[in-house]
Structure 1
Amino acid sequence: PSFQPQQGKLSLTDELHWADGFIIVYDISDRASFAFAKALLYRIRESHTGVCKKMVESSIFLVGNKQDLCHMREVGWDEGQKLAIDNKCQFCELSAAEHYQEVVAMFTKVLRNITSNFKVKEKRRPSGSKSMAKLINNVFGKRRKSV
């Protein structure tokens, strides 16, 4: 999804609510992109209140790109790491231009986390109302012949 700043606010689409994972990329040589990434993290957290936090946390990745431009760095590695820790998300720095393997590894990790979250969802027990309905059906659903 594309997010565009409008008058100091973020215009977010419905994808924010149904997305299974997020990869937020900023340019280490551009402090404004880091500030935008920070705002996106905040909005994602805000929109996922009430959702299982562990699942959301494991499926958000903060990525500092353009590691090959270290001589132009405006955002330190430690700043990215701190932002990730503060927002309980994964963090890495890479150079998409020079090392495509790092990009592949990062996407693989994202997909693994998302699929493991689906497995956790599948293993969850039914809600209380479903369990109660099943119990009532078991007790009253089958009629026995009275003697």
Structure 2
Amino acid sequence: MLYRHNVTFDNVATDVEILDSSCCMVTGCLYDHITWADAFVLVYSICERSSFDHARALLETLVAVRGARSAPMILLGNKRDLEHCRQVGVDDGHEASLHFHCQFYEVSAAENYVGVSLAFQSLIRETRALQALRTLPIRRKAGAAMTVSKMIGIVFGKSHKSNRNGKKRPSLSI
């Protein structure tokens, strides 16, 4: 299932497409989704060890197909409100995130949306920064000082020149 949404934060509007790839176990389309996406969110239940093991296996697949650090990733533990049913420790999530060079959050989608929202905002910021880095021309060391200030403007949405030049609004596929 594909979800489309427009988000605005940091004064930048971004079109986001979220593809729920949970059906890939049946249809076998995981490889297509791995090559399509700009970023990845791997969700597991803290109450179900097998879901964490599956998320970890997917992280291994992502790194094998895309390479380490080629796309932003979040390991997202859900159901934090069900602490009494916990089977996956916070340390397990931290360890996996360090191993796979990805962000890690534990949230409770049932309690409120704030944690989920913060995780997605962080992922979108990282993806924007990576996309901005990829679009910069390769320069020699002499131009590096000028590039830093431009990069800060691009990442944090302070550059309004891109909107005036008729460039397309940023979009991300997750």
Task: State the TM bucket, normalised to the shorter chain.
Answer: 0.7 to 0.9
Shift of 1:54: 3.8
Residue 38 of structure 2 is matched in structure 1 by: 20
Residue 75 of structure 1 is matched in structure 2 by: 88
Describe how 1:49-128 pairs up with structure 2 within 5 A. Answer: 49=67, 53-56=68-71, 59-125=72-138
Shift of 1:13: 3.8
Distance 1:62 1:54 in 2: 14
Higher strand share: 2
Distance 2:96 2:108 in 1: 19
Is residue 49 of structure 2 the alignment partner of residue 36 of structure 1? no
- Match of 1:123, as an amino acid? L
Distance 1:85 1:11 in 2: 27
Gapped regions of structure 2 (runs ≥ 5) = 1-18, 140-174
Question: What whole-Å deviation, never above 9, does each CA across 1:93-136 have from its counterpart, x for those lacking one?
Answer: 0101102111111111111111111110011429xxxxxxxxxx
% identity of equivalent residues: 35
Q: When the two structures are aligned, how many residues end up with a matched partner?
A: 118
Distance 1:14 1:63 in 2: 22
Q: Which of the pair has the greater relative contact order for Cα pairs under 8 Å at 6+ separation?
A: 2
Gapped regions of structure 1 (runs ≥ 5) = 127-147
For normalisation by structure 2, the TM-score amounts to 0.63
For normalisation by structure 1, the TM-score amounts to 0.74
Distance 1:28 1:75 in 2: 5
Larger radius of gyration: 1
CA spacing shift, 1:85–1:79, aligned 2, 3 Å:
same
Shift of 1:5: 3.5
- Match of 1:20, as an amino acid? D
Aligned to 2:41, what secondary structure does the other structure show?
A: strand
